[in-house]
């Protein structure tokens, strides 16, 4: 159950973009930016308010890859699994991240909600392979050692 502040925030976004069917995507973008995911209850709430059916809102939200219904960690780490990164041992980057954070293909977010690890097919920086991003900041030419250093630093920043 979401607390009231989520709905108040959604009301703000609706006021910003207008109570109109066309506002659906910009409102969802704001929700995603604010919470790093779209709580399903909030999507239903917004849909009702701007006169879009829930089914339509869900089909739009699932169509766009950037929208997520799963709550993510404060740091979203994307590891490239595209060809250029793969041949430069990108899988070792992912393995080290999983090991450092206790994650796996079946568990993508740490229990403390600090880290989410995802794989993507190309980050558009193939010349810098292997690449990962942390909240969209590119980390080029990664090695398992650099992964450990990066995680250590992020944890220190949180301590």
Question: Would the CA dihedral through 78, 82, 87, 91 be positive or negative?
Answer: positive
Q: For every residue of the chain, which 3-state class applies, written as one string?
A: CCCHHHHHHHHHHHHHHCCCHHHHHHHHHHHHHHHCCCCHHHHHHHHHHHCCCHHHHHHHHHHCCCCCCCCCCCEEEEEECCHHHHHCCHHHHHHHHHHHHCCECCECECCCCCEEEEEECCCCCHHHCCCEEECCEEECCCCHHHHHHHHHHHHHHHC
Q: Is 80 in the site for ligand FES (CB under 6 A)?
A: yes
Question: Least distance in Å: CB of 129 to ligand FES?
Answer: 5
Question: Least distance in Å: CB of 146 to ligand FES?
Answer: 15
Residue found by looking up tokens 């880290």 in the block: 115
Q: Is 123 in the site for ligand FES (CB under 6 A)?
A: yes
Question: Least distance in Å: CB of 58 to ligand FES?
Answer: 30
Q: Is 131 in the site for ligand FES (CB under 6 A)?
A: yes
In the complex with ligand FES, which residue's Cβ is closer, 43 or 131? 131
Question: Least distance in Å: CB of 128 to ligand FES?
Answer: 7
Q: Is 94 in the site for ligand FES (CB under 6 A)?
A: no
Span interacting with ligand FES, options 56-64, 65-73, 100-108, 118-126, rule CB under 6 A: 118-126
Task: List the one residue from 53, 71, 83, 141 that touches ligand FES (CB under 6 A).
Answer: 83
Residues binding ligand FES (CB under 6 A): 80, 82-85, 122-126, 129, 131
């Amino acid at each position: 159950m979401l607390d009231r502040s989520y709905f108040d925030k959604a009301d703000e976004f609706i006021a910003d973009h207008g109570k109109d069917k066309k506002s659906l995507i910009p409102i969802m973008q704001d929700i995603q930016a604010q919470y790093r995911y779209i709580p399903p209850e909030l999507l239903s709430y917004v849909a009702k308010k701007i006169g879009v059916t829930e089914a339509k809102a869900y089909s739009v939200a699932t169509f766009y890859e950037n929208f997520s219904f799963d709550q993510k960690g404060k740091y979203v780490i994307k590891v490239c699994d595209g060809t250029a990164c793969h041949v430069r041992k990108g899988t070792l980057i992912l393995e080290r991240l999983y090991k450092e954070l206790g994650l796996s293909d079946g568990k993508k977010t740490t229990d403390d909600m600090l880290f989410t690890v995802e794989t993507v097919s190309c980050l558009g920086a193939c010349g810098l392979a292997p690449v990962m991003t942390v909240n969209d900041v590119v980390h080029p030419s990664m090695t398992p050692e650099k992964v450990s250093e990066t995680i250590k630093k992020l944890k220190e920043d949180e301590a």
